[in-house]
A = this chain, B = another copy of it.
Amino acid sequence: MEILVYRKGIPKIQENFTAADLPELLKDQSALIWVDMEKPGAADERVLLDTFQFHPLTVEDCRENRHYPKVEEFEDYLYFIVHGVTADISPERFNTIELDGFLGPNYVITYHHEMFRSINNVKQQLRTTPVACQRGPAFLLHQILDQVVDFYSPVLDDFDDRIDQLEDDIFTLKRPNNEILSEIMDLKRSVLRLRRISGKQMDILHRMSRGEFGLIPEDMRPFYRDVYDHLVRVVDLAESYRDLISGSLEAYLSVVSNRLNEIMKVLTIFSAVMLPLTFIAGVYGMNFENMPELHSRYGYYAAWGIMIIVAVAMLLFFKRRGWIGGSSKEETPDI
């Protein structure tokens, strides 16, 4: 548990307090106390229950992973759950980490089981200049939420890149295989998660910015609306990505279909050219005694002639149907 205290008239953030100092600190209505609990234990929970006297259900909510953002108003504090994104953007799945917190008249409490980059950033800023604290706990909370939401951007950029890459892969595709399919499915799932999690946070910021909670004063609302606008854009992008990925899947299926057509065309052209020739050769391989052609001097050459005519006729037939490209000399279908 780390405690940062800002007091009017003191130009520096004070640190190095312990849980025992909290009751005293909280009495100073003009101070601003930020209690950050990283990887909290039973002692931290006792502080929440005894010193701050939060509702036992909210403390239970803190302890467990809820996977579901929310904000609840109690008589003199707000309880919220929001989600940040993890630093390592795994190629497989988009991951979130949970941030629980409380906002009171002169304190902000943050509670998280994992390291939060955005929280460390805000602390660093405060140590440089406590200016964010001068505007009260609602502004400090806004700073934290703003940082949390800012870390969504690289994730979105990464999605952008991967979808672009995917579309290239689909159309230039040398080998239609299950890898592409599997990547489409993974991306789709990640985008759906992103859409869900950011959509819910958007709702929460909307409630915070429209003046529903007394603890967030009127003049703070534009700042919360700014975070809300950011989340609106995240949700909007997530929806675009979902559409793009659906389009990719459709494109992939169509490319596979086109490829099947191509394969079948090759097979059909080969069969249709070769089968009649083999038949003609078979005819003159028959052992009938009385086959006048066999005894003709130019019979063999005539047979070759017929075979070449048949082959060319077949190729022309397929060329006329558009199955063979510009040059009728090669059996290369044009797709």
Interface residues, chain A, with chain B CB atoms under 8 Å away: 55, 57, 61, 66-68, 70, 72, 167, 171, 174-178, 181-182, 185, 188-189, 192-193, 196, 222-223, 225-226, 229, 232-233, 236, 239-240, 243-244, 247, 249-261, 263-268, 270-272, 274-279, 281-291, 293-300, 303, 322-323, 334-335
Q: How many of these chains are in the complex?
A: 5
| Nearest-Cβ distance from residue A290 to partner chain B, whole angstroms | 5
Q: Could you say which residues of chain B place their CB within 8 Å of the CB of A259? A: 261
Contact A270 B268 (CB under 8 A): yes
| Nearest-Cβ distance from residue A314 to partner chain B, whole angstroms | 9
Contact B322 A192 (CB under 8 A): no
Given the interface pairs A267-B272, A268-B270, the reply to whether A256 lies near B257 with Cβ below 8 Å is: yes
Most B CB atoms within 10 A — which of A192, A232, A281? Answer: A281
| Nearest-Cβ distance from residue A21 to partner chain B, whole angstroms | 29
Give which listed residue, B181, B189, B252, B272, contacts A255 with CB less than 8 A: B181
Contact B196 A236 (CB under 8 A): yes
Contact B282 A272 (CB under 8 A): no
Could you show 7 A-B contacts with beta carbons less than 8 Å apart? A57-B226, A178-B255, A181-B254, A249-B250, A264-B264, A285-B286, A291-B300
* Cα–Cα distance between A298 and B288 once the two chains are bound (Å): 9
Contact B258 A258 (CB under 8 A): no
* Cα–Cα distance between A334 and B225 once the two chains are bound (Å): 54
| Nearest-Cβ distance from residue A313 to partner chain B, whole angstroms | 11
Contact B290 A287 (CB under 8 A): no
